[in-house]
Structures are given as structure tokens and as C-alpha cells.
Structure 1
Amino acid sequence: MNNWTIDSPQTLDIDNVRNLRLLAISGRFDVIAHQDPAETVTRLTISEITGDPLEIVNTAERLDIKHGKTDAMVWLTKDNPLSSRNHLVITVEVPAQTVIDAKTVSGEGLVTGLNSTVKVSSVSGSIVSDATKGALSVNTISGEAIVKDHQGALSTNSVSGEITASGWLESIKASTVTGDLNFDVLGPIRTVSTNSVSGSVLLRLPEELSCQVLANSLSGSINVNEESIKVIGSTTRQFGDPKQPMVKISVNSVSGSITVFNRLSRHEQEGVQ
């Protein structure tokens, strides 16, 4: 096991890292896959740091990077993370297959180019995921989250923050309280599962896909292309051409709505123009 305590800007190279866990209270983190697939080192570039020193622990192919205290008792003191002077700006360059778990309280975060299992979380900060492949989990309380050009399964959780995602999403599992969720699906997708209290869900599908919607709601609504139905209780409806590939959409809500529409074909787009 190797340990580092860092309190000033510097660069650090670490070998043999397969799992990365990162926690930054505020500031910004960028987790970037190496452009060269032959590159195996994990490179940390600390550009700015104030407050507590940065704690780094490397053991059994796992690298833990932590800035600031987040245990339960700290939230009850004047040094709780939301009033902390901790600030970190760090870039972590990793092999694309590195498993990532990155968290921030109020900072900004970016993960890009990864081909692995990735989890990124925020309390009130904004997070962006770009050009990732594999299983992606995005979680926020009140911050904004943007997912661009993802290929694979997507899981999202939000309280009041807005989440926008696009790409070749193979499956979507989404949960929100009052935040809005927006998904732009570019290719075939197996299943979509959403849970909402009052937040709205917008889902755009490829032109050729039909859908079967299983809904359970107290007073929500389902809007599919030009059809709209009010849901009280449980209902199952099929929309589109049954001969076309079908995606199963499961909707659970209190009063939230889900809107599904198919992307226009090229011929229809030309007609609109």
C-alpha cells in the first residue's frame, strides 16, 4: 500500500490502477481516458488546492483520492462540506478500462472517453459524461447532469436536479422526485423504467421503434407522439406499428408525466422544412 498527502499543485504518476474512487468537495475534477490505448499509467495533475490536504491511497489495484471530510458527524459542525474552504482542481488521466466512482458535493465534474463501469455523483454541483461505453450511473440531488454520446446501459437518480442524456442507450433506469429527465435514444433499446413523484420524463426514440407502455400512477399522464391518455391506477397500452421493433417502457409516478415521441424520418424532416 502506498500513501500520499498533497497540499500544493503537482503531478503524480501511479502504475497498476484498475479502480479509481474520487471525492472532491468543491472545485472541479476531470477524469479522462488516455488517447493512447497503450498508456497504462494513471496520471494525477493537481492544479489548485486549498483547505485540507489531498489524501491518496493506492492498494490492491485501487486508487482512492479524497479531499475533505464527509463523515456523518462533520455535517453537524461549522466545518461541514457545504461551508468548507476545501477547493480542488484535478485532472486524472486513466486507461479507458478503469472502473470509476467519482463524487463531488458542490463542484463540477467531467468523465470522458471511458470504456468501463462508471458512476458519477453530485449533491449540488454539475456533472458531465461524454463519449463513454459500458454501464453508466449518474446521480444528483439538485445539480444538473448531462450525458453525451453514451453507449450502453444508463441508470440515473435525481431529487430536483435535471438530467439530460443522449446516445446509443441500450437500457434506461431512471428515478426522480421533482427533477426533469430527458433522454434522446439514437439506436435500438431494450427497456426503459422510470419512477417519478412529480418530475416529467421526455423520451425520444428512433423513427422505426414502437413501444409498449406499462403505467402505474395516481394522476399522471402518458403522451406518445400525437396520443395522450390520463392515467389513474394501472394501464398497459401499445403504440406504433406492432411489426416494428418494440421497446418496453415501465412508468411509475404520483403526478408526473412521460412524453414519448419518435424522431422524424429524413423524408418527414424534408417535408417540415
Structure 2
Amino acid sequence: MFERSVSGPEKLAFDDPVAELHVRIVNGTVNVVGTDEGPARLEVSEVEGPPLVVTQRDGVLTVAYEDLPWKGFLKWLDRKGWRRSAVVSLAVPAHTRVEVGVVGAGAVVSGVKGPSVVKGVTGDATLVALSGPVRADTVSGNVEAQSVTGDLRFNSVSGDLTVVDGSGSTVRADSVSGSMIVDLAPDGPTDIRLTSVSGEIAIRLPDPADAEVEANTASGAVSNAFDGLRVHGQWGA
């Protein structure tokens, strides 16, 4: 069992194995990198307001505020608690399970092969070269996924989703008003299901493509740029 309160710049290395990483911060930035060598490492370069609490227990490394629980995270809107900020960087074994929660902060997760879960209230997230299953839930934060090869699931109220060079076998995305741009380079069968109430949806596939597409809209237009694909049906223009 390891526990430390961090109120200023500090670097820590963890000799004990790390199987799970939990990070929850408000404002600032969090950067998580999966590596194939060395122990887990933490660098806190800036802390304003309440200290961050760093704990390691039974293979779980946690960097978070004591008053910011993971359960019900997306409903955390304590304005008084927003008077805080932290800049945190972590390097963990590539197969670590990663959970990152941000409120008003930017998050970057890269090189992780284990499952990744990202929750954001107003913070944006960038996901790079993740090969494990990925789940991203936001209220208004945007998510950009680059070269993600694992299954991707995204849920948001008004946040946008951008997928670049995606090659996972499954993409599931739901949003109320957020837009979705999904640029895929699949290396095998891929199942894509995108749903939005008022946001725009764009899917880009390699040409030629072997694809079956079903698109439904109540009031928006449907268009395509594939010569062999025709738009028909009574819904949509």
C-alpha cells in the first residue's frame, strides 16, 4: 500500500506491478502513455488548489482528488471545486487497464493495449494507437481517435467524435447533437452503427469498398460519393 498527497511538482516511480490506472482531474491536462519497458512513472508538473492523492494498492494506481469519485463522474458539477488545476503525465505498462476522468481538462491516451475508458464533462480527449477496447463517454467534450484498432464505443450529449485511420471491428456511437466524422481503413470486417438526433454524420471508406450501408434520417439529407451506391427510400432527401 502506497499513498502520497501531491501539492506541487513531483516525480514518482512505482516498482510494484501496475495492472490498472485510475486518473480523475479537474482542469489542466492528463497524458497517459503505454510503454513496453520500465516501471510505471508519474510526473506532476503543476498543481493548483487541493492536492492530488496518489495511491497504489493491489495493482491499482490512482491519481485523483478525494472528492471526485468515479461513480456518477459525469454528473459532477460542483462549481466551487473547479478552482483547481493539475498537469499530470503517466507512463504505464502497455497492457494496463486505463480509466481517465476529466472535468474541463484535456486528456491524451496513447499506446495502450489494455481496455481504456475515458469520461469527460467538458474536457476534450485524444486517443492515439489504442489496440484494446475503448469506451468514451462525454457530456460536451469532443473525442478524437487516431489509429485506434480496438473496438470503439462513444456516447455524448453534444460532444463531437472524429475517427482517423480507424481499423477496429466495431464502432458504436450515440450523440444528441454532436457531429461524427469516421474515417476508416479497415483490415477486416467492420460493423459501424452511428446515431445522432441533430448532429451530422460522415463516414469515409476506402474506394473500392465492400460495404452494406443503411442510413435513416427524419429531416436531414443523405448523400454518397460511391458510384455503385444509390440512395433510395421515403425518408430523407
CA shift, 1:132, in A, is 1.4
1:47 to 1:17, Cα distance in 2 relative to 1, 3 A: same
| Structure 1, unaligned runs of 5 or more | 233-254, 258-273
Aligned partners of 2:43 and 2:88 also within 8 Å: yes
1:111 aligns with 2:114: no
Check 1:231–1:144 CA distance in 2 against 1; reply closer, same or farther (3 A cut): farther
Matched position secondary structure for 1:44: strand
Find the aligned partners of 2:170 and 2:220 in 1 and give their Cα distance: 23
Q: Could you tell me the TM-score, scaled by structure 1's length?
A: 0.76
> Cα deviation per residue 1:166-199 (whole Å; 9 max; x = unaligned)?
2212210010100001111112342111221111
Q: Percent identity at matched positions?
A: 26
C-alpha RMSD over aligned residues = 2.3
- Provide the rounded CA distance (Å) in 2 between the counterparts of 1:231 and 1:175: 24
Q: Does 1:176 find its partner at 2:179? A: no
Determine helix, strand or coil for the equivalent of 1:208.
coil
1:43 to 41, 44, 52: 41
The answer on 1:56 being equivalent to 2:57 is no
State the partner residue of 2:18. Answer: 17
Kindly indicate whether the alpha-carbon contact (under 8 Å) linking 1:26 and 1:88 is maintained by their aligned counterparts in 2: yes
Query: How far is the alpha carbon of 1:78 from its aligned partner?
Result: 5.5
Q: Which residue of 2 aligns with 1:129?
A: 127
Task: Supply the distance in 2 between the matched residues of 1:48 and 1:134 (Cα, whole angstroms).
Answer: 30
Equivalent residue number for residue 196 of structure 1: 196
- SS of 2:149's equivalent? strand
Corresponding residue for residue 29 of structure 2 = 28
Larger radius of gyration: 1
Confirm or deny: 8 A CA contact 1:22 1:102 kept in the other structure.
Answer: yes
Structure 1 runs of 4+ with >6 Å offset: none
1:70 to 43, 47, 68: 68
Q: Does the aligned pair in 2 maintain the 1:215–1:231 contact within 8 Å?
A: no
Contact 2:113–2:132 under 8 Å retained in 1: yes
Match in the other structure for 1:208: 208
Preserved CA contact (<8 Å) 1:170 1:190: yes
Q: 1:92 to 1:30 in 2, by over 3 A?
A: same
Q: TM-score, normalised to structure 2's length?
A: 0.86
Over residues 17-74 of structure 1, what are the superposed CA-to-partner deviations in whole Å (9 max), with x where a residue is unaligned?
100010011100000122xx232x11110000011111122111111211363367x9
* 1:224 shift after superposition: 3.2
Post-superposition shift, 1:214? 3.9
Q: Greater strand share, 1 or 2? A: 1
SS at match of 1:133: coil
Secondary structure at the residue paired with 2:178?
A: coil
For residues 76 and 100 of structure 1, the distance between their equivalents in structure 2, rounded to whole angstroms, comes to: 23
Candidates 97, 100, 114, aligned match of 2:98: 100
Deviation at 1:210, TM superposition (A): 2.9
